[in-house]
Structure 1
Amino acid sequence: MFLSRVFLFTLIWIQTGAYNILCLLPYPGKSHYMVFEPLLQELESRGHNLTVVSFFPKQNQSNRRDVDLRSLASLNIEIVDLRDFDYSVFGLEKYFEHIPLITGLAKSNLHLCKRILDSEMFEEFIAAKGDYDVILVEHFNSDCMLGIIHNYGLPSVGLMSTSMLPWTPRRVGASDNPAHIPEMMMPFTSEMSFFERIQNTICHYFYIWWYEIAIRWEEQRILEKKLGKRLPKLENIAKNTSVVLINTYHVWNGVRSVPPSLLEVGGLHLHNKILQPLHPDLEKWVSEAKDGFIILSFGSLIRGSTLPEKRLRTILKVFARLPQRVVWKWEGNFIDVPDNVLILKWLPQYDLLRHKNCVAFITHAGLLSLTEAVSAGVPMLAVPILGDQYGNAAHAQRVGIACVLRLQNLDEVTLEDSLKKVLTSEMRERAKLVSKQWQDRPISPMENAIYHIERTVRYKGQDMSTHARWLSTWELELLDVLVFIVGTLVIAFLVVRNAFNSFHRKEKQC
């Protein structure tokens, strides 16, 4: 088997050649990098030469060089305090709480952009040194690295660890109609009520114009000052991206009309994922759970041990009444828990989800966690906290594999009722069915991603986006055509009316 894989990779390398690839991953979020790292490893294994600029460097290998950005910012690991999100203002917080978070994060990345551009380790990329064939760059809430793409004059491939951001569709000429396309920060699916469409529309256009004015204009200024030359608009550089690899798949993330340049590769981070044996004590604990076990984890960004005292007491009371056992990721000091609860500072989440005794997953609805649960066929209780987690949870609920419970509404009754629904045989069977549909694809996410990266190099770029990306809002919404038609009708009406009046005046004179 090993020799056959070596032969296959050798054959691929002979056919395609080894490409020089520059990877710009300037965001210090671990969950983001976890999506990209398997892709980088696969490119390495196929003989391509990589230069990776990131906050998560690996040991340099024969065909990979890492540029370490860790000295420029702290890593975004377990930094979110749940107490900051446990409040309610007449129930309105779910409509507005994402605004300070998203705008604050983008502003933070704006400052990080300047630090990276001014850093000593980034000087070679400012000077466009190195002989590269293609640039892989993260598309998130900063376009700072797009100026580097233009600096090299190379084709690029976008990487997205999240679902689509408000400004993503216009870059590839896809529809972004808020009447049926929910914003990633909103707890909606494509089936929205009138009031929800109002909220979604306001949110959509607010973020598009705010991002353009507050972030992109400033990044344009910073880049032009640093590079010492005028650049095309960053938005236009983004529109020349050959392919955008996005970490979703329509089976549970929802169906959207997109051009071939927007490639869904949800599950990319699970490529060649090998189940690891659990620690003997943990294996014993979960294997002896007669009614199965539940996992509780809030991921790598949120510090789960910052649960407000009121919510913590509620959860412990409900857990004590469950026949199932619970494995709980708790990063702080150990606390007194019921006999059926085991707390650990770190969980082998993927391995636990794949365990035959796992019956449910209580999660913050991060995209990676939900993807792993969907892959394993495990039903979920989603407690979204921030960012795209609201939209992720809504889509999981829509396809029948999750119940959603907001932290502000978490009490004994709602938690117990939600867990009862998640633990039903119907939801467990539904989760298994969706898992099969999710995995049943004509080509694996990794093969799809690699093919389009290599194809981009072979043809020195790809043009697979629609021309709609180059149209202004005025043209795209046919407002210019509408004005022309209305103007023509008005002029025609005035001409006919004047002619009619003139005819009547002549008749009277006769």
Structure 2
Amino acid sequence: MKIFILFLIVTSVESYKILCLFPYPGKSHYMVFEPILDELINRGHHLTVVSFFPATIPLPNRRDVSLQHLAPPNVEVLDLKEIYLKTQKYFGLENYFGHMSIVTSLAKSNLLICERIINSDVFEEFLAGKGEYDLILIEHFNSDCLLSLVHIYNVPSIGLISSSMMPWTMARAGAPDNPAYIPGMTLPFTEKMTFFERLINTFTLHFYNTWFEYAIWREEQKIIENKLKRKLPRLSDLGKNSSAVLVNTHFSINGIRELTPSLIEIGGIHLHNRTIRELNEPLRTLVENAEEGFIIFSFGSLVKGSSLPRKQMKAIINAFARLPQTIFWKWEDDISDAIKIPKNVKFEKWLPQYDLLNQQNCLAFITHGGLLSLTEAVASSVPTLIIPILGDQFGNAAHAQKAGVAEVLSLTEIEEDVFYNKLLSVLSKEKRQKAKLLTSLWRDRPQPAMETALFNIELVARHKGLDMSSGSRWLSPIQYLLLDIIAFIVFVLFISTFTFVFILKTFISVVQIYYRNKEKSS
């Protein structure tokens, strides 16, 4: 009976051929998109998936095109010692500008990946036009390299963003991106900013857009046009033509945005149909024996947690020794004999993070504030201590703190007493209560994130593309800010005033001449 019902569901939905392009080698990014691909296959669509993470077993209606030979996956590539040294150059402003060198270097590495992809057999295959597609799904991140295929195939596209919105996302869709009240993803601000914060926010927004235009978009344009031996529309303009952009955010934890119909929030979609798995030994026994509860400490997949500077490492260890709770710490390397480890600290090279977060005696989560980790904490009603490192983690941390479910501490601020007191605040009853309330708000939606995503994907394919973005995306800054209209009005007022004054002066002169002549004649 269930098979028959599934057959009816699948056959009631028109089947589409979809090309999925994921040119970024970050595993955490791909984890967001994978459930969408699985559900599209379940609904009978045919997928060609170009990524660094091909399926390990053959799947029906799915053809994988691997990019693995072009670059290694971005896993544990960021060294905290190097990041700490780089942030010392900003004279106390590292929370505002310390991320710039990291973000720009990561984007530069993607420029190299773009060149490899464009000159690979993979790109040659798609240039040959193998396969006619109804729709293209493409990751919108810090590269627009494969938007060239959207133009070549001339089919509608939908962007997918696994993080918070990039600095250029809102403008591409014609949505307001006023830095007076919309904080940048890389800054530790919320909607209410001081004059100084608005100044930094404005500078950062324009820095990233200008830098990306000249350092990435234009360079990618050259690479592609050299390959094709012909001119293409601007890649940024091709991005503006996206029918929709599905963003892994939700207003409850990412702040309020004025969105066009093309910008669609699907926050938490990587948890679709996610079940809580039983813990393996010996972890299960350690959790059960944690009578005072336990804390999880992880910097995610991109940051190598074991590269923590020795000063911060010592401060954290000493703070943990003062706590009754057990701490499960994701630590990739062997532990140095020079470091005295308290009995309540357990180092693990890998942790089943979501399964641990959903244990009843999980009391807190120390995290870098990556969107996936933060979302999992919110979904599990676990308060957090966030130590942001790069990208959208600063903005994520600020909004979580505003919601009352987190404390925030920068890498450079870590000292034993400061860290200990922040953690005590996170462990408080008040924080746990607010975490439960936020979970309730986060879950309370008109429909699940997956249904929202599938509806919009099929909507665009069904109508062979849609224009759901504001026309403001095509306006220059001069036009958008009405500076040309203001200049025209000022010019007209000036000419009108000048003309009026000239006529008035001429009239007065004529009158004066008339009376002088009259006096002479009398």
Deviations 1:54-108 (A, max 9, x none): 0011132221111111111111000111101224343122222222122222221
How far off its partner does 1:8 sit?
Answer: 4.2
SS of structure 1 residue aligned to 2:106: helix
Deviations 1:352-398 (A, max 9, x none): 00110000000011110001001101000000011111111111111
* 1:63 pairs with 2:61: yes
Q: How does 1:134-173 map to 2 (within 5 A)?
A: 134-173=135-174
The residue aligned with 1:238 is 239
Deviates more, 1:148-157 or 1:39-48: 39-48
Deviations 1:476-506 (A, max 9, x none): 1111111111111111110111111112211
Aligned residue type for 2:54: P
* 1:196 pairs with 2:197: yes
* 1:497 pairs with 2:492: no
How far off its partner does 1:43 sit?
Answer: 1.0
* CA distance, structure 2, for counterparts of residue 456 and residue 281 of structure 1: 48
How far off its partner does 1:295 sit?
Answer: 0.3
* 1:53 pairs with 2:50: yes
* CA distance, structure 1, for counterparts of residue 390 and residue 204 of structure 2: 15
Q: How does 1:173-212 map to 2 (within 5 A)?
A: 173-212=174-213
Aligned residue type for 1:23: C
Q: Which one of 473, 476, 500 corresponds to residue 477 of structure 2?
A: 473
Q: Do the aligned partners of 2:13 and 2:43 also contact (CA within 8 Å) in 1?
A: no
The residue aligned with 2:456 is 452
SS of structure 2 residue aligned to 1:280: coil
Aligned residue type for 2:81: R
The residue aligned with 1:484 is 488
SS of structure 2 residue aligned to 1:86: helix
What RMSD over aligned residues (CA atoms) do the two structures have, in Å? Answer: 1.2
Deviates more, 1:6-15 or 1:119-128: 6-15
The residue aligned with 1:430 is 434
* 1:370 pairs with 2:374: yes
The residue aligned with 2:18 is 21
The residue aligned with 1:37 is 34
* 1:331 pairs with 2:319: no
SS of structure 2 residue aligned to 1:53: strand
TM-score normalised by L of structure 2: 0.95
* CA distance, structure 2, for counterparts of residue 173 and residue 438 of structure 1: 26
The residue aligned with 2:404 is 400
The residue aligned with 1:110 is 111
Q: Which one of 74, 80, 83 corresponds to residue 81 of structure 2?
A: 83
Q: Do the aligned partners of 2:331 and 2:348 also contact (CA within 8 Å) in 1?
A: yes
Aligned residue type for 1:325: T
SS of structure 2 residue aligned to 1:503: helix
Q: Do the aligned partners of 2:10 and 2:42 also contact (CA within 8 Å) in 1?
A: no
* CA distance, structure 2, for counterparts of residue 386 and residue 233 of structure 1: 29
Are residues 491 and 56 of structure 1, via their aligned partners in 2, closer, same or farther at CA, if it must alter by over 3 Å? same
4+ aligned runs moved over 4 Å, structure 1 = none
* CA distance, structure 1, for counterparts of residue 379 and residue 143 of structure 2: 30
* CA distance, structure 1, for counterparts of residue 189 and residue 228 of structure 2: 42
What percentage of aligned pairs have identical amino acids? 53
The residue aligned with 1:129 is 130
Q: Which one of 406, 410, 415 corresponds to residue 411 of structure 1?
A: 415
SS of structure 2 residue aligned to 1:143: coil
* CA distance, structure 1, for counterparts of residue 13 and residue 283 of structure 2: 46
* CA distance, structure 2, for counterparts of residue 439 and residue 450 of structure 1: 18
Q: Do the aligned partners of 1:292 and 1:324 also contact (CA within 8 Å) in 2?
A: yes
How far off its partner does 1:170 sit?
Answer: 1.3
Rg larger for: 2
The count of residues paired between Structure 1 and Structure 2 equals 507
Q: Do the aligned partners of 1:126 and 1:227 also contact (CA within 8 Å) in 2?
A: no
The residue aligned with 1:260 is 261
SS of structure 2 residue aligned to 1:505: helix
How far off its partner does 1:227 sit?
Answer: 2.3
Unaligned runs of 5+ in 1: none
Q: Do the aligned partners of 2:136 and 2:150 also contact (CA within 8 Å) in 1?
A: yes
Are residues 8 and 191 of structure 1, via their aligned partners in 2, closer, same or farther at CA, if it must alter by over 3 Å? farther
TM-score normalised by L of structure 1: 0.97
SS of structure 1 residue aligned to 2:252: helix
The residue aligned with 1:301 is 302
Aligned residue type for 1:187: P
